[in-house]
Structure 1
Amino acid sequence: MNSINTLLDGIVDLNMELSQEQQNQFIKYKRLLKEWNEKINITAITDDVEIDIKHFLDSLTPIATKLFDGRKKIIDIGTGGGFPGLPLKIFNKELQVTLLDSLNKRITFLNEVIKELELNNIEAIHGRAEELGRTEIYREQYDICVSRAVASLNTLSEYCMPFVKVGGYFISMKGEDVENELKESEKGIETLGGRIIKKQLVKIPKSDIIHSLIIIEKIKETPTKYPRGGGKPKKNPL
């Protein structure tokens, strides 16, 4: 059985604890991640300790914002192997979670994890943020949009902000050095109906990695022309 000792040690540093059921869910999740990773490329991180630090503990750092308490409806854009949405769901059962990824084989994997872990109120959907963000079912329906996806903040904001309801938050999980990105994205975020509240630095336990949580509040509705289609958010950021 895969060990989650590093996760259990690190969770203490985050002032959190895991029940036996939650520990078992993380153990199963890790086993499935490693098994599936041999068939399809989900993650380059395959070492037990590295998975605990760079996937599980990193995914749990947004809990420090206190925004994930209680029954929140959240969407994780570009979730990949389920990060951070699945660990957040394991930690807080009350969260209603949507995991979105553009690769269908990852969605197949995530559905298997959801089934094995017997999680409720969580769905994995295959699609593109620039398309789903324009549909009534998903647009401005979420308390929080969270993303660990690799894209510049101005591009990511256009993908993510349309999902957030007014009064909700978009949380972008970034590296330590984000000052330039913040400056470059300020105007675009304003255009999309948001304002940057703060940059919260978090140290990932059991490592020397510092990450930033960029917290953006949605203060007014996103204009209907956003998100733009055809890859424009990436090619021509706001």
Structure 2
Amino acid sequence: MDDIQQRFTDRLKERGIELNERQLEQFETYYKLLVEWNEKMNLTGITEREQVYEKHFYDSLTLAFFVDMKKVKSLADIGSGAGFPGVPLKIVFPHLKLSIIDSLNKRITFLKAVSEGLGLTGAEFLHGRAEDWGHKRGYRDAFDLVTARAVARLAVLNEFCLPFVKPQGTFAAMKGTDPAEEIAESKKSLRELRGELESVEAFRLPFDDSERHIIRIAKTAITPYKYPRNPGLPLKSPLV
């Protein structure tokens, strides 16, 4: 274990998460694949090793500081890009049934290669729009936990993500700076999509002091079938 891995494991241990040798190997393999594939396609602007461990891996795992992942059986990550936060969470909590949905097929191809390289089981990577997958049997009203990291404003995210959450499940939006304005404008979307604001967790990353927020939303009932609307509409005409 080198210094970067030591700091990574120490910071996680402070939050009650302990990594074994296999998990550390999986994170290192993930890093190498990310850099290798990033030369062929634009996956991330962050490729320096310590930065990847801090701003992608650790940042993804902060969700587990505020949600008891042991009680979560199924996780959907919407618009995951290069696999954050879904893949780091799957590495640390291998019991999770993970579904990642992304609209760019090249990213899905990358994630399938990552899954194979890490030996992940119980993970699927689906190409398509959230607006389409949110209407499919087996995905709609189906997941204990749904998340999205820095994808869109909350009023839009609610329409992308809440249709996937089972009643009494949780949608957790991972944000950077203070989301108070986004939360204020999301009241209509929460009401329409049967969501209820549960909590807003504010914290800072330990290495560069970056501001982070996790917005937890409880799903109170089945989402009306008219949502999500046709692809493109949630972004073009948000429920505000």
With normalisation by structure 1, the TM-score equals 0.95
Please list the CA deviations of residues 180-222 of structure 1 after superposition, one character each: whole Å capped at 9, or x if unmatched: 0000002211210110001011322322012100000000111
Q: Is residue 89–residue 95 contact of structure 1 (8 Å, CA) maintained in 2?
A: yes
Equivalent position of 1:156 in the other structure: 157
Q: CA deviation at 1:6?
A: 4.0
Q: Kindly tell me: are residues 230 and 129 of structure 1, through their superposed partners in 2, closer, same or farther at Cα, counting changes over 3 Å?
A: closer
- Say what the alpha-carbon RMSD is for the aligned residues: 1.5
Q: CA deviation at 1:137?
A: 2.5
Equivalent position of 1:30 in the other structure: 31
Aligned counterparts, 1:55-66, within 5 A: 55-66=56-67
Equivalent position of 1:168 in the other structure: 169
Distance 1:134 1:120 in 2: 25
Distance 2:68 2:16 in 1: 16
Please list the CA deviations of residues 96-151 of structure 1 after superposition, one character each: whole Å capped at 9, or x if unmatched: 10011111111111111111111110111111000110111211111111110421
With normalisation by structure 2, the TM-score equals 0.95
Equivalent position of 2:136 in the other structure: 135
Distance 1:162 1:152 in 2: 16
Distance 1:27 1:165 in 2: 34
Aligned counterparts, 1:196-207, within 5 A: 196-207=197-208
Distance 2:74 2:53 in 1: 25
| Runs of at least 5 residues in structure 1 that lack an aligned partner in the other structure | none
Q: Is residue 160–residue 170 contact of structure 1 (8 Å, CA) maintained in 2?
A: yes
Q: Is residue 167–residue 221 contact of structure 2 (8 Å, CA) maintained in 1?
A: yes
Greater CA drift, 12-21 or 120-129: 12-21
Q: Is residue 176–residue 211 contact of structure 2 (8 Å, CA) maintained in 1?
A: yes
| Runs of at least 5 residues in structure 2 that lack an aligned partner in the other structure | none
1:77 aligns with 2:78: yes
Q: Is residue 77–residue 149 contact of structure 1 (8 Å, CA) maintained in 2?
A: no
Equivalent pairs counted in the alignment come to 238
Distance 1:195 1:116 in 2: 39
